[in-house]
A and B are shown apart, each in its own frame.
Chain A
């Protein structure tokens, strides 16, 4: 809370803006990147898109299917190829929130698909030096353990290895916890961070078992969503 000027009228518009999906704050965890252009691959929620807009002068969009088709054709000069459309080293930031789930309906992990790694390589070439790919999805371990559901979720280990194979210089993996009131926590994907976060929240939520779970190396199953920042 902050000091309020007494007498201020109610400000629903400002509040509605404040309640925008704060996912774009994850950008603050990325290293310094340019502000010129960003590319959104696939679907993205309107509020999320609005969240990106203060950060970039230009935001382009392409569907996952066109990326898939371009990779299948294996011709970077072909119309439809993202490198043909946008040019190499043309983007500061690429964001893909449904690329992993939308790549294939086979239920198989896309990271085992060489064409997916080829697509990641294409994306890497689109990025300027120091540019960042934001790749997010459901945390496969959380879904498998809690919902007993296999699917093309984000397996952080596989994702990091695939991104390194695609030529990215550095990867940073995070878990995401949406919460009531649109609050999200972003926890680095390592045990120490998960334990510290769970201990920090335990007194208010009364769930010390989660801290124990995190300490017991099951931290990867605690959070429903995940993302990787891949840096060129």
Chain B
């Protein structure tokens, strides 16, 4: 077992016999025992294992390793990421990565990109700058998605279109009724069904500011563990805009904690959906969603269906992974708010532009 990690690092091109090498390996994210007693191809299995940061002799990080159970899906995903990172057009968007494995563990190793994490700047960015950044990031993701489809032609499983309703039906079963009322679930389900069949687009699946770096004048996207899992259009755009919004809202909460004045700012975030439909939503976030909808060639009805798809899919995955409810609840609140808005006849014309439904 233990020799496996050293052997994996050796096979990945590192000299573990170098004096003091083990003083330069930091286990940064230790989340479940390896080897796994059994291999299941599910979300939870993908969370097992640990990440390691490898430093050079000067203490500068050079490589980032992710060690996970050797499931077919994880191996496929690491191989896909490796092939994509070799594409010349993506060399300044995705860190160069490769994978090595043993019976117990499969490791994805990538070059460490220093850069500044978008998460650390997004809260304080000027709106105009944020708007430009969001557009550039989503365009970069669009390029990666296009190349992903070329590198892995099987990703679409021979289908150019996706029936979003059928694809996300599992998520309605995953969330129990006390968390999402049946009538609200029905409204959300109807919205997705109304969107019908749309073209498939490979999505990153976890495109949020912690997985985005700014380095050397380029946006670098990280963590392709779930790339291609979701193929519903606009999923990444919703996740990016929503998480930026939450981080900017959180900024106010952090200020309120520092100033000890909870009266000024609410302790709970308001619903993103409420903000999306009201004038409280910043212009830049609305513009980004309208722009993304137009780029994907979706009607407003399809965009609303894609929004419902995103929220139910994200909530169900988080719930299934048994994350703490404080992380799942905001998505459930958004789902409830979305259902209420749709029941009240909201069209989200403000959020998605005035394209005909």
Contacts and interface: CB of A to CB of B under 8 A. Distances in A.
Interface of A: 1-8, 10-12, 14-15, 17-20, 22, 24-33, 35, 51, 54-55, 172, 181-188, 190-193, 195-197, 200-204, 206
B170 interface: yes
Interface string B140-181: 000000000000000000000000000100100010000000
A204 B119 contact: yes
A183 B30 contact: yes
B41 A186 contact: no
Contacts of B55: 192-193, 196
The 3 closest A-B pairs by CB, nearest first: A2-B46, A192-B59, A32-B3
Given A4-B229, A22-B50, A192 B28 contact: no
A25 B28 CA distance: 12
B33 A22 contact: yes
22 contacts: A1-B206, A3-B76, A3-B228, A4-B42, A12-B322, A14-B42, A18-B48, A24-B33, A25-B27, A25-B30, A28-B27, A30-B2, A31-B2, A31-B3, A31-B6, A181-B31, A181-B324, A183-B30, A186-B30, A193-B55, A197-B26, A204-B210
A15 B28 contact: no
A28 B119 contact: no
Interface in B38-82: 40-50, 53, 55, 58-61, 67-68, 71, 73-74, 76-77
- The secondary structure that dominates the B interface is mixed
B34 interface: yes
Contacts of B71: 2
A200 B117 CA distance: 10
A17 B47 CA distance: 11
Nearest to A197: B26
Given A22-B50, A186-B27, A192 B58 contact: yes
Contacts of A192: 23-24, 55, 58-59
B123 to A, nearest CB: 10
A11 B2 contact: no
B19 to A, nearest CB: 11
B22 interface: yes
Contacts of A24: 33
B37 interface: yes
